[in-house]
Amino acid sequence: MRPLADTIWVNGEMTPWAEAKIHVLSHALHYGTSVFEGIRVYETPDGPRGFRLTDHVRRLFDSARMYHFPLPYTEAELVAACKTVVRENGFRSAYIRPIAFLGACGMGVTPQPENMNVDIAIAAFPWGAYLGDDALKNGVDACVSSWSRIAPNTVPSGAKAGGNYLSSYLIGREARVGGFGEGIALGTDGRLSEGAGENLFVVKDGRILTPSAASSILMGITRDSVIRLARAQGIEVVEQTLPREALYVADEVFMTGTAAEITPVRSIDGIATRANGPGSVTQAINAAFRGLFDGTTPDRFGWLESIEAV
């Protein structure tokens, strides 16, 4: 892989890209035992700002709690480390990827408590539109996957854990093999859940509907931001269980994620939404979101965090 940055933070040390390596017998490689985050830094008129950096690091700790991973740092230390990585690589905008994983724990699936060795790495690198520039502008053609999202009593979908992304991988892969831009999963109850790496929103009759926490989703930070920005504009947002066919009769559909940002969905399973691209509600929400970074939307929730050392 060509270097995307000069240095990566590894267990507290800024490490040259080429030296940031792990052992092939690392527990996480065999059993998917990692928790991670994705955070964007945007260039704003006031300089680079991490979007909800502290909230993302909090979610990393929540994910670690669900898996009993002892993280040998405080939240404040990892927030500071994320900032250091961006600064030291000289990025004005970036995607930050912190990951905490079980490393040298022995070969068994369940390490002895004294062998729960958690390694942490934090990389930052440039990352453009996750589903492509055209998708961001004109909308993505999505399909409903034949793969269900992970069931609630298997592994927690609310953790952003490495192993969960086997599900995302299959959903995303199947979609692309079928000629679609992204896959949308149903829960094992047959209700709408989320995209392979994005939360899902349906606009119908001026209201925004989105699968609730009970729909086997990751509680996205972009999802929460969109809900709050929409309500601030007086748009009603309802979190509920939604049937698959809500997609086919939608005025607009869009997906959200740190990497995907706010990506309109143009069609689902070959059925165009009424807007057939980014509709007026999607555009209004996207303008409010983008405005945070060019200064046209006031940062009333305190979401923009300086990346300077404190």
CB-neighbour burial class of residue 220 (10 A; exposed 0-12, middle 13-18, buried 19+): buried
- Is the Cα torsion angle 5, 10, 14, 19 positive or negative in sign? negative
* Residue 223 engages ligand PMP in binding (rule: CB under 6 A): yes
Single residue of 194, 211, 242, 278 touching ligand PMP by CB under 6 A: 194
44 lies in the binding site for ligand PMP (CB under 6 A): no
Residue with tokens 């679609």: 180
Catalytic residue, candidates 21, 83, 137, 160: 160
Residue 160 annotated among the catalytic residues of the structure:
yes
For position 210 contacting ligand PMP by CB under 6 A, the verdict is no
Contact criterion met (CB below 8 Å) for 245 and 268: no
Instruction: Give the DSSP H or E segment for 227.
Output: helix 221-232
- From the list 286, 265, 285, 284, the residue with the least C-alpha distance to 275 is 265
Among 26, 145, 258, 263, binds ligand PMP (CB under 6 A): 258
Indicate whether 222 belongs to the interface with ligand PMP (CB under 6 A). Answer: yes
CB atoms within 10 A of CB 11: 12
CB-wise, 184 or 250, nearer to ligand PMP?
A: 184
Q: Which of residues 104-163 bind ligand PMP (CB under 6 A)?
A: 160
Q: Does 168 bind ligand PMP (CB under 6 A)?
A: yes
Our finding on whether 192 is near ligand PMP (CB under 6 A) is: no
> Which residue's beta carbon is nearest to the bound ligand PMP?
220
# residues contacting ligand PMP (CB under 6 A)? 15
Compute the distance between CA of residue 258 and CA of residue 159 in angstroms, rounded to an integer.
Answer: 15
Look at strands 34-36 and 94-102 and give their pairing: antiparallel
What is the smallest separation between the CB atom of 84 and ligand PMP, expressed in angstroms? 22
**Where do contacts with ligand PMP occur on this chain (CB under 6 A)?**
38, 160, 168, 194, 197-199, 218, 220-223, 256-258
User: Which amino acids are annotated catalytic?
Assistant: 160
